Amino acid sequence: MARLGVLLFLVQIVLAVCALISCLSAEEGKIRALPRIAWVLIILFFPLVGSIAWFIVGREPSSGASKGWPGGTSSPQRQRPRPVAPDDDPEFLRSVQDRAKQQDQELFRRWEEDLRRREDDLRRRDGDPPREGDRPEV
């Protein structure tokens, strides 16, 4: 019998902790009936009844529980598209790839110009004639 009492006590504590976490992390617009501080005090002073009351009355049902009947209307708040993280946005990823490609092309172009300039400087120092592609046509 004592084990059952301990088990029920632990269930009550876990329920109260879950209710407190849910209450403290709920958005201000999702709390019903009482202000947040009142719900926290009720959960703390009456853990079992307060926790049950919080989950039934104090918060708006979660999006999964409020779907209702198939074909039913949902609230306008749930119809808004969720913001997309930058790494999930295909347009952002495309712009990053395009920018990287442009930077690579610019870097390659500068390397080629630097290489041609160095080759020409070396040829002038050694007195070699210009390359085939560099000779002016007569």
Q: Is 71 helix (H, G, I), strand (E, B) or coil?
A: coil
Give the start-to-end residue ranges of the domains of the chain.
1-61, 87-129
**Tell me, what's the pLDDT at 79?**
60
**Tell me, what's the pLDDT at 76?**
52
Report which residue type is found at 133. G
Calculate Rg over the CA atoms of the chain: 35
Name the DSSP letter for residue 28.
Answer: G
Give the separation between CA 19 and CA 24, rounded to whole angstroms.
8
- For the stretch 1-51, pLDDT in tens is 789 999 999 999 999 999 999 999 998 888 988 999 999 999 999 999 999
User: φ and ψ at 59, to 5 degrees?
Assistant: -120, 155
Query: Which residue did the predictor score with more confidence, 130 or 61?
Result: 61
- For the stretch 120-133, pLDDT in tens is 999 888 876 666 66
Nearest CA among 5, 6, 8, 19 for reference residue 47 = 19
Contact by Cβ (8 Å): 50, 85: no
pLDDT band of residue 61 (cuts 50, 70, 90) is confident
- For the stretch 87-120, pLDDT in tens is 778 888 899 999 999 999 999 999 999 999 999 9
